[in-house]
């Protein structure tokens, strides 16, 4: 990564385009409040500033033709924050969707969400559904917003659904496997993230995609989310491209697999 830091933005972009790209990137957008506090501003100003980072990252990932980008926008635990901040965040969500739906259409982005949407205010739910419907015909990158989302809640809900199917005789216990669990989660239909990024210097996953991150590459940066822009995203992907993903195998097995694939054997 040190060498990449010295590249110009154009050089960095070119290198990233030539390397293996992650299909699905997940991001914990952390540090909005601390960014504002450092500047002596109300915390909500940090969330507003973070919207520009969202715009830059989303358009870059769409340009790179990633399959999916999941953003941790509002966690199940965030409801515990002060009421005025929660209300402001819900209003900001609506503002973002109203402003960015045209950008999504221009970039062929399909919008979807995960989490307990029924817990959102009615006005926010309305704009979420409107954006889902408006972009439903797009075939480019999926922008997946995690709203009122928690990994443990998601797993608990999935267990309940599977248990109900067993109870009602629609599913045999022996049919329960990893594929079934994955298809019962909120992220059904999406590949597991190849890369998970967290900003602000914290080194934890904070109840985010607990099942899905099992084999993801993790990237932590000290950059606060409102300062995380296109170049920072490129640096994260370039770092990912230099890693060896073994999935429990050893390097020699990977070399053999690549050789076999190159020779047409699967």
Q: Which active-site residues does the annotation give?
A: 30, 78
Which residue has 């409801």 as its token pair?
79
Find where tokens 């002060």 sit: 82
Find where tokens 């797993």 sit.
155
Work out whether the CA dihedral 25, 26, 31, 33 comes out positive or negative. positive
Reduce the DSSP state of residue 67 to 3 states and report it. coil
Cβ neighbours of residue 179 closer than 8 Å, sequence gap 6 or more:
none
CA distances from 257 to 18, 19, 64, 122, 265 (A): 21, 18, 26, 51, 9
């Amino acid at each position: 990564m040190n060498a990449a830091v010295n590249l110009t933005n154009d050089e960095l972009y070119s290198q990233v385009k030539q390397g293996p790209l992650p299909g699905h990137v997940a991001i914990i957008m952390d540090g909005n409040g601390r960014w504002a506090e450092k500047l002596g501003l109300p915390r909500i100003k940090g969330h507003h500033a973070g919207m520009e980072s969202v715009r830059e990252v989303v358009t870059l990932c769409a340009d790179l033709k990633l399959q999916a980008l999941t953003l941790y926008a509002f966690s199940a635990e965030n409801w515990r924050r002060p009421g005025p901040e929660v209300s402001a965040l819900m209003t900001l969500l609506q503002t973002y969707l109203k402003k960015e739906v045209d950008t999504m259409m221009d970039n062929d982005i399909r919008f979807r969400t995960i989490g307990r949407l029924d817990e959102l205010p009615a006005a926010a739910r309305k704009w979420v559904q409107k954006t889902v419907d408006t972009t439903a015909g797009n075939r480019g990158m999926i922008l997946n917003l995690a709203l009122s989302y928690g990994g443990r809640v998601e797993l608990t809900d999935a267990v309940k659904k599977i248990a109900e199917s067993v109870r009602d005789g629609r599913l045999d216990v022996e049919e329960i496997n990893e594929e079934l669990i994955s298809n019962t989660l909120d992220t059904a239909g999406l590949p597991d993230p190849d890369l998970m990024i967290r900003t602000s210097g914290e080194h934890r996953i904070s109840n985010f995609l607990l099942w899905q991150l099992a084999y993801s590459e993790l990237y932590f940066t000290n950059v606060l989310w409102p300062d995380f822009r296109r170049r920072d995203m490129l640096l994260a992907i370039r770092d990912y491209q230099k890693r060896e993903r073994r999935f429990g195998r050893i390097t020699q097995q990977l070399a053999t697999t690549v050789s076999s694939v190159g020779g047409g054997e699967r």
